[in-house]
């Protein structure tokens, strides 16, 4: 497998990998409480549906802060093992220092750009929570995952469904873009983006081209928390996701209009349901399963 024992910014790092490490990592770390404590609530619905068996060797692709890798480690038990891979070393440092990691001896983490390839045919199952939508070339990344599986190995990934069913990401973008121009699609970014696998037919074709069989899609709707309160939600949206990208790319114009934008976002988030110490909005994803051929 193309691990690097050192942080990811090797000379050959692709622009997308550089972008994750240099631009997004500090923002994701700053808003970990929302990403892990809020968006991961989506997984409370998904994790019980996953088919991991005691003894499985599992790959967690784009594992981020490592919470799913550790949860899977508990499912596969001491006879099984989990390797979480991510192109961003800052996330893996957090993953390795999680308190639960101490008792999760069967879970390891390694830096890897999945699109550069993974070593062959050693995993019984692979999993990715919102980790496949950013591949510059989705078929290349998906094929690398398929090649890492044993014949008949299982793959499950979760990707966001269409924008209309994900107001948690889109409503703030619409507000921000009523003040600022949409970002130039040619600018450097995180990759194809959170909705790049929303179209079932396109994603099915990409997975088939990568060599997967028995591809199934299941819709999962869940509330996610987008901030502890209105101020937290505004800060989060202006840093991460489509609203954050719009704000960042607008530069000085964005700063000049910040007071109006924040006031409009405050109005948006005041409408949002507040409970359990957070603001909750609708989200919708695909739970996609497939197998490597026997």
CA distance 35 to 232: 12
Q: Which of residues 28-67 bind ligand SAM (CB under 6 A)?
A: 35, 62-65
Piece of the chain touching ligand SAM by CB under 6 A; list 111-119, 146-154, 180-188, 199-207: 111-119
Decide: is 87 part of the binding site for ligand SAM (CB under 6 A).
Answer: yes
Q: Pick between residue 153 and residue 241 the one whose CB is nearest to ligand SAM.
A: 241
Q: Name the minimum Å distance from CB 64 to ligand SAM.
A: 3
Decide: is 88 part of the binding site for ligand SAM (CB under 6 A).
Answer: yes
CA distance 11 to 86: 17
Q: Residue 192 CB: number of other CB atoms within 10 A?
A: 16
Decide: is 86 part of the binding site for ligand SAM (CB under 6 A).
Answer: yes
Nearest to 116 by CA among 239, 251, 233, 17: 17
Q: Pick between residue 153 and residue 194 the one whose CB is nearest to ligand SAM.
A: 194
Phi, then psi, of 131 in degrees rounded to 5? -110, -5
Decide: is 242 part of the binding site for ligand SAM (CB under 6 A).
Answer: no
CA distance 59 to 57: 7
Q: Name the minimum Å distance from CB 217 to ligand SAM.
A: 19
CA distances from 120 to 40, 153, 213 (A): 30, 12, 18
Q: Pick between residue 58 and residue 87 the one whose CB is nearest to ligand SAM.
A: 87
Decide: is 138 part of the binding site for ligand SAM (CB under 6 A).
Answer: no
CA distance 216 to 89: 32
Q: Which residues bind ligand SAM (CB under 6 A)?
A: 20, 35, 62-65, 68, 85-88, 91, 112-115, 129-131, 134-135
């Amino acid at each position: 497998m193309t691990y690097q024992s050192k942080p990811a910014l090797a000379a050959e790092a692709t622009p997308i990998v550089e972008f994750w490490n240099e631009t997004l990592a500090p923002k994701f770390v700053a808003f970990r409480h929302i990403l892990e404590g809020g968006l991961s609530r989506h997984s409370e619905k998904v994790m019980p549906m996953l088919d991991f068996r005691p003894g499985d060797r599992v790959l967690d692709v784009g594992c981020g802060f490592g919470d799913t890798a550790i949860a899977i480690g508990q499912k596969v038990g001491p006879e099984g093992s989990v390797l979480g891979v991510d192109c961003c070393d800052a996330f893996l440092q957090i993953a390795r220092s999680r308190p639960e990691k101490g008792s999760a001896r069967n879970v390891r983490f390694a830096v890897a750009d999945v699109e550069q390839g993974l070593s062959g045919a050693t995993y019984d199952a692979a999993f990715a929570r919102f980790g496949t939508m950013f591949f510059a070339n989705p078929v290349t990344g998906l094929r690398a995952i398929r090649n890492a599986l044993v014949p008949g190995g299982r793959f499950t990934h979760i990707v966001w469904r269409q924008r209309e069913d994900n107001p948690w990401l889109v409503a703030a973008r619409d507000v921000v873009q009523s003040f600022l121009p949409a970002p130039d699609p040619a600018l450097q970014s995180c990759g194809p983006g959170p909705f790049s696998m929303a179209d079932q037919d396109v994603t099915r074709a990409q997975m088939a081209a990568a060599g997967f069989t028995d591809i199934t899609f299941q819709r999962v709707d869940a509330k996610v928390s987008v901030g502890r309160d209105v101020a937290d939600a505004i800060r989060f949206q202006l840093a991460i996701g489509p609203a954050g990208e719009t704000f960042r790319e607008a530069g000085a114009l964005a700063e000049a209009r910040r007071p109006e934008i924040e006031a409009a976002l405050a109005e948006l988030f005041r409408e949002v349901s507040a409970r359990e110490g957070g603001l909750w909005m609708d989200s919708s994803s695909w739970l996609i399963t497939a197998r490597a051929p026997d």
